[in-house]
Amino acid sequence: MRVRLLLAGLIGLALVAPTTARADQFTDALKRAETSYAAGKYDQTLNAMFDALYRAWDKSPFLLTSMLLVQEPAKGYGLYEPRSSNAYKPGEKMYIYAEPAAYGFKRSGDRYEFGFSVDFSVATEEGKILGGQKDFGSFSFNSRVANTETMLNVTLTISGLDPGRYVLELTIHDKIGSGAVTRTLPFTIAGG
């Protein structure tokens, strides 16, 4: 009986050991950050926190931390002005700002490659698809660092719609990783 319990315990340990080891690396990075912070070694604190961030990044599914209508294309990460209204004149350009996170990286020599593709569709409020396009936009990056702050500017000019309320659906695909995220933005076409 004791031998069976011991064997079952060892099998159970073998099954959870890889997960525990990865979790321990994350926890160790956080402990290093805490110890460095307490010692006033803030540069080491940041390095340990970046280590923890990258470990969590690798485990997280692809996501968007932000996606919204903006007044004009953003000048950089977080450098945008939200649009105060979702009403557009016929043929007016729509600017969308998005912040992807937890996307995949591909190492290529001393560089990191990552990127995104964008699909869109326009539907009535009731869900009837009126049009759209797969792979409408493509964004590719080649950087010396594994950037964790990336933003996308998407510009659409939607014409041919009658005045009324609509829903824009954007799907952003991680080109290197395996994820995709879909978000909707309601908008209105104003009468002439």
Maximum distance among all alpha carbons in the chain?
84
Secondary structure string (H, E, C) spanning the chain: CHHHHHHHHHHHHHHHHHHHHHHHHHHHHHHHHHHHHHCCCHHHHHHHHHHHHHHHHHHCCCEEEEEEEECCCCCECCECCECCCCEECCCCEEEEEEEEECCCCEEECCEEEEEEEEEEEEEECCCCEEEEEEEEEEEEEEECCCCCCCCEEEEEECCCCCCEEEEEEEEEEECCCCCEEEEEEEEEECCC
* pTM as predicted: 0.83
pLDDT in the model for residue 23: 63
Q: Give the pair of three-digit tokens for residue 99.
A: 């912040």
CB 33 within 8 A of CB 48: yes
The predicted-structure confidence for 58-70, as pLDDT tens digits, reads as follows: 999 999 999 999 9
81-93 in b/e form (b: 16+ CB < 10 A) is eebeeeebeeeee
Summarised one tens digit per residue, pLDDT across range 72-96 is 999 999 999 999 999 999 999 999 9
pLDDT digits (tens, 9 = 90+) for 118-140: 999 999 999 999 999 999 999 99
Could you tell me the pLDDT band of residue 7, with boundaries at 50, 70 and 90? very low
The position carrying tokens 């695909």 is 173
CB atoms within 10 A of CB 114: 21
With a CB cutoff of 8 Å and minimum separation 6, the contacts of 125 are 164, 165, 166, 167, 186
Q: Are 146 and 50 in contact (CB under 8 A)?
A: no
